[in-house]
Each structure stands twice: as C-alpha cells, then as structure tokens.
C-alpha cells in the first residue's frame, strides 16, 4: 500500500475545480438526478471530462464518478490517467474509488466526506451510503494514489452541501 493522504492541502486550482463539480451536480439535480458531479483534469488542471449523476437513466449504480471513469478508460491510456485528478463534490463511495483505482487515476480531490453525506441522505434507499472512506479502500491496494479532502474552506463546503439540504427528505 502506498498512498498519500492529506485532509485539505488543496491549492486554488483544486478549489476552483471542486466548485465546477458543484455546478455539474446542480445541473444533474435539475435533470431529476442526485446532486453529484465529478470531473477529470489533467496535471495542469485542464478539464478533460465532466459527468453528473444519472440516477434517472440507470438507478443507484449510475454514480457520476464511476460513469466518468469508465468513459475516461475508453479514451485515455492508463499512463495518461496516472497523471490525472478526479474531482468530486463528495467523497467517492467504495464502488467509485474502485473505479478510480482500476482506471489508474493517480489523484483524488473531494469536497465533503462520505460520512458527511450520510447526514443528508440518512437511510434513503436511493443512496444507501457506505461507512467506508476512499482512504480505507485505497489503503488495501497496490497503487500510489494521492487523496486530498475534505475541504476546510467553509464557504466552498456550504456550496457543496447546499443542494443536498432537504433533497433527500423529498425523495
């Protein structure tokens, strides 16, 4: 196991790209999906791909991160993906972290934790949240993956959770 974990350590570009994930998540929600958004950026912070949740199309398994990573694996080589970063408004679940691992993306930046998400989703059957962090999943792998998150920027965090406030109660 070799991974680097920092609770925040995010630079301005990381925070700006997390804010883009908030936009993507909001657009997904406006289409009737769950408010989750992810994007893939190259080593310079250029957005290569973006993806919102697609619950309406495929149910609970259509997480933004997994959909994005599967598309990225068809378009980019494992070597190219190793230098990329997956950004997500919330910490990827174990399925999405597995997709990150298997597609060979070398860096993950997320805004709020899986544990924090549970406070919003509760026991909603559309999103049965795991109590398993991405760090814990990666810890048992054999790849070097840098993980940054959650953000300590209170203003950014408020924007990340905004669409989740009351969303799950209304489902």
What residues are annotated to the active site?
65
Handedness of CA 114, 127, 64, 156 (dihedral sign): negative
For 62-100, give the DSSP string. --HHHHHHHHHHHHS-HHHHHT-EEEEEE---HHHHHHH
**Which pair of tokens denotes residue 53?**
């949740």
Q: What are phi and psi of 59, to 5 degrees?
A: 80, -160
């Amino acid at each position: 196991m070799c991974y680097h974990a920092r609770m925040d350590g995010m630079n301005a570009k990381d925070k700006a790209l997390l804010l883009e994930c908030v936009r993507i998540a909001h657009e997904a929600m406006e289409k009737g999906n769950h408010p989750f958004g992810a994007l893939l950026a190259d080593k310079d912070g250029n957005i290569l791909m973006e993806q919102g949740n697609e619950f309406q199309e495929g149910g609970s398994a259509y997480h933004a991160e997994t959909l994005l990573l599967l598309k990225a694996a068809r378009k980019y080589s494992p070597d190219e993906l190793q230098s990329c970063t997956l950004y997500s408004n919330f910490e990827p679940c174990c399925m999405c972290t597995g997709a990150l691992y298997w597609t060979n993306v070398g860096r993950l930046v997320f805004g709020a934790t899986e544990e924090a998400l549970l406070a919003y989703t509760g026991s909603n059957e559309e999103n049965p949240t795991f109590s398993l962090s991405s760090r814990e999943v990666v810890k048992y792998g054999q790849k070097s993956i840098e993980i940054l998150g959650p953000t300590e920027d209170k203003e950014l965090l408020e924007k990340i959770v905004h669409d989740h406030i009351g969303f799950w109660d209304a489902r």
